[in-house]
Structure 1
Amino acid sequence: MNKLAISVIGVPMDFGQSRRGVDMGPSAMRYAGAIQRLEALGHEVKDEGDITVEKFNTEDQLNTNLRNLNEVIEISTKLADKISEVVAAKRFPLVLGGDHSIAIGTLAGLSKNYENLGVIWYDAHADMNTEETSPSGNIHGMPLAVSMGLGHDALVNIHDYAPKVKPENIVIIGARSVDPGERQLIKEKGIKVFTMHEIDKLGMTEVMNQAMWYLRDREVDGVHLSLDLDGLDPLYTPGVGTPVPGGINYRESHLAMEMLASSNLITSTEFVEVNPILDEKNKTADVAVGLMGSLFGESLV
């Protein structure tokens, strides 16, 4: 893999969901040695610190279909500004979450800098709900829909344009908990999804090969990897807010990252939903950092 100039950006936000603790995810991944791991691979790493997240009183927003909407908009806008600045400086953005709603800001900051951005969404969930279809009102279940231009106007139009990504440029890997409204949207938009059924049937090597050729065929000029740690089975990543049994295993995930590393397709990435309060001895953060190692060129020999 080419040696990169990487900018690490923490987003200690937990407003996109209702279980506290995921705001400590960036600290947990740094503590697990994320910076040192990448530097040991020869990359030039700059820790840009954390996006400032004010602590709001959110109790009055618990029963809405868009929980903590204003806070998510504010932080997403700050993150989009920072991402845009990093890309303009020709650096590789590595974002540490935080809940998965941070992807709204990440993709808003990235997309302005690409003509035809592709996205690999490594996740147990499709994250394609809207205010109308969400069973919880948690915005961390909405970032892909928002990025496609579907949802609340203020979320959709962060950085004053929409959509951020075309439905045909999205690949979801590891899905196994998809809500009815999301299922309908996937069919309507023709989104490429590799569920656990496909991973079990085809094997991870074939899934990743198909995913990468699918994006190459669309002539994308950049690919963002959005990796939710609940994409893996909870046996390996217990410290996540919405664990779903029957997920991708540890070795399959490293293989996927190694294949992406050798492809040189990935131009930005984020690792989200590490919740130290729910974790076992920082196990989930350790797995996240191990996957970063594989994504950025670590090999066994």
Structure 2
Amino acid sequence: MPFDLSLSYPQWQGSGRHVNLPRGAEAVAEVCGRFAPLVRVPLGDGDVDGETRHGVHRWEAIFTQFRSAQDILANSGARRVLTAGGDCAVDVAVIDYLKGVHPDLQVIWIDAHLDANTPATSPSGNFHGMPVSAILGRAPGPMRTLLGKPIDPARFHYVGIQVGDDGDWELQRELDLQRLDPNARIDGPAHIHFDLDALDPSEFPYVAYPDGKLRIDDAIALVSRIAREADLVGFTVTEFAPANDDEARAGSRVIERLCEAAVAPPPVI
């Protein structure tokens, strides 16, 4: 089914390798804007070094953008949101909003990295390594007070994870976070977080952290299957980091195919 809103959320401050993210975020927004009306989260101020507060590097810019995204979403009335990131942490506000609209929301986290550090366990303070812990109730204090009920860990599933810090694996074990069973049917409202670094870099090299192993065709088939089986109310694309305009155009063709799979999956025969 179509999305009501495309949210351009170009935050780069959560990433430790941010140099090409602004170009990628603009390219993803251009693609997503073809599928639903586009609204832009203002890019927060924040220099390359920034400050660390509440265990998060460049905190002020990240928190300002988070509040802006919350306001846009709350005023939108949208029930289905397509999001163009930015770094992975843009999904904290989006998932929290969709959880408020769809209380039994499931989250499918497609990523090469667990993203489950907390402010206390992160070795870098980079917030794009913490969004999973945030949506599961471990967000930094000032952000936590503005979030609704956390996602039930049983309604959260990973796809494609390869890399994690000690803190990531600690939370994964504590909450028993599971990989998605490839044979499991997905019912009810669902949100897909798609970090492009989950893709095999031999096919999709336009990322800052090329650790993935997921083939493009397999990824598109998975998104299409979830869209057929579930009520896909959210789809977020993050961490596109093309080094130049040619790479932006090449990567955008893959992103368009992913969005097409999410919006208009082929019928089951």
Residue 89 (structure 1) shift: 4.3
**Pair 153,296 (structure 1): closer, same or farther in 2 beyond 3 Å:** same
1:181 lines up with 2:172 in the alignment: no
Q: How many residues get paired?
A: 266
Residue 58 (structure 1) shift: 4.5
Distance 2:60 2:215 in 1: 36
The range that moved more, 100-109 or 22-31, is: 22-31
- What does residue 270 of structure 1 align with? 236
**Gaps spanning 5+ residues in structure 1: where?**
39-44, 195-206
Residue in structure 2 matching 1:239, options 185, 200, 206: 206
Q: TM-score, normalised by structure 2?
A: 0.88
Assess if the C-alpha contact under 8 Å between 1:11 and 1:23 holds in 2: no
**SS of equivalent residue, structure 1 residue 81:** helix
Amino acid at match of 1:259: R
Assess if the C-alpha contact under 8 Å between 2:108 and 2:190 holds in 1: yes
- What does residue 256 of structure 1 align with? 222
- 1:187-243 Cα offsets, whole Å, 9 max, x none, are 21111125xxxxxxxxxxxx4432x44xx4xxxx52111110011111222121211
Residue 134 (structure 1) shift: 1.4
Distance 1:64 1:115 in 2: 28
Assess if the C-alpha contact under 8 Å between 2:153 and 2:177 holds in 1: yes
Distance 2:220 2:50 in 1: 42
Assess if the C-alpha contact under 8 Å between 1:78 and 1:105 holds in 2: no
- What does residue 107 of structure 2 align with? 119
Distance 1:298 1:226 in 2: 17
Distance 1:110 1:56 in 2: 27
Q: Which has the higher helix share?
A: 1
Distance 1:27 1:266 in 2: 24
**SS of equivalent residue, structure 1 residue 146:** helix
Residue 79 (structure 1) shift: 1.0
Distance 2:14 2:244 in 1: 17
Identity of aligned residues (%): 21
Assess if the C-alpha contact under 8 Å between 1:13 and 1:97 holds in 2: yes
4+ residue runs of structure 1 moved beyond 3 angstroms?
Answer: 33-36, 62-65, 298-301
- 1:240-269 Cα offsets, whole Å, 9 max, x none, are 121105x10011111101212211431111
Assess if the C-alpha contact under 8 Å between 1:108 and 1:158 holds in 2: no
Q: How does 1:53-68 map to 2 (within 5 A)?
A: 53-61=43-51, 65-68=55-58
Distance 1:113 1:298 in 2: 23
- What does residue 20 of structure 2 align with? 21
**Pair 251,137 (structure 1): closer, same or farther in 2 beyond 3 Å:** same
Distance 1:12 1:144 in 2: 19
Amino acid at match of 2:27: A
Residue 72 (structure 1) shift: 1.1
Residue 299 (structure 1) shift: 4.2
- What does residue 158 of structure 1 align with? 146
Q: How does 1:1-301 map to 2 (within 5 A)?
A: 2=1, 4-19=2-17, 20-31=19-30, 33-36=31-34, 38=35, 45-48=36-39, 50-61=40-51, 65-86=55-76, 88-90=77-79, 92-159=80-147, 161=148, 163-194=149-180, 207-210=181-184, 212-213=185-186, 216=187, 222-245=189-212, 247-277=213-243, 281-282=247-248, 283-299=250-266
Amino acid at match of 1:152: P
Residue 279 (structure 1) shift: 7.8
- What does residue 201 of structure 1 align with? none
Assess if the C-alpha contact under 8 Å between 2:32 and 2:83 holds in 1: no
Distance 2:53 2:151 in 1: 30
Q: TM-score, normalised by structure 1?
A: 0.80
Residue 94 (structure 1) shift: 0.5
